[in-house]
Copies of this chain bind each other. A is one copy, B any other.
Amino acid sequence: MADEPVKVVYHLTEGLDQASRAMSNIRNHLRAEPDTKIVVVANGDGIKFLLTGATERSGRPFDGAVAALASQGVDFRVCSNTLIAHDVPVSRVLPGVRLVTSGVAEVARLQAREGFVYLRP
C-alpha cells in the first residue's frame, strides 16, 4: 500500500482565480512528490479555464499551462452537465480534456472506487 503512488483529485468549481492557484499548487505538488497521480475535475464556474481563449490575470493563456501539466501526466476532466447548463459547445473545450457526465459524481467516484484523496485549491 505505502508504495503505491498517492492519487489526488483537485476539485475546481470557482473560476479563473481558483484555477490559477490550482495550476501553481499542482506544479508545486509534482515538484515535491513527482510520483503523485493528479486528476483535476472541474464543474460549474470551475470549467472556465479549460475553454479556448481563457487567460490568467496576467493575460497569459491557460492552454499552455494545461498542456504542460497534461504532458506530466495530469488528467483534466470537465463536467458535461455544466457545458449544457452554461450553453458551452464541446468545441470550446481544450484538446486533451476528457468529458465526464457529472463532475461531482466523478469526484465522489474517484475517492470511493479508485482510492483518490480530495483537495480543493
- Taking CB as reference atom, which chain B residue is nearest A100? B32
From 65 to 110 in chain A, residues with beta carbon under 8 angstroms from any chain B beta carbon are 79, 81, 85, 101-102, 104-105, 107-109
Contact across chains for A29 and B112 when beta carbons are under 8 A apart? no
Q: Could you mark each residue 1-37 of chain A with 1 if its beta carbon is under 8 Å from any beta carbon of chain B, else 0?
A: 0100011100101000000010011101101110010
**A85–B24 alpha-carbon span in the complex (Å):** 10
Q: Could you mark each residue 38-52 of chain A with 1 if its beta carbon is under 8 Å from any beta carbon of chain B, else 0?
A: 000001100000000
**A105–B121 alpha-carbon span in the complex (Å):** 12
Q: Number of copies of this chain in the oligomer?
A: 3
Total residues of chain A contacting the partner, CB 8 A: 36
**A121–B8 alpha-carbon span in the complex (Å):** 17
Contact across chains for A28 and B121 when beta carbons are under 8 A apart? no
Contact across chains for B21 and A112 when beta carbons are under 8 A apart? no
Contact across chains for A43 and B25 when beta carbons are under 8 A apart? yes
Contact across chains for B6 and A112 when beta carbons are under 8 A apart? yes
Contact across chains for A102 and B33 when beta carbons are under 8 A apart? yes
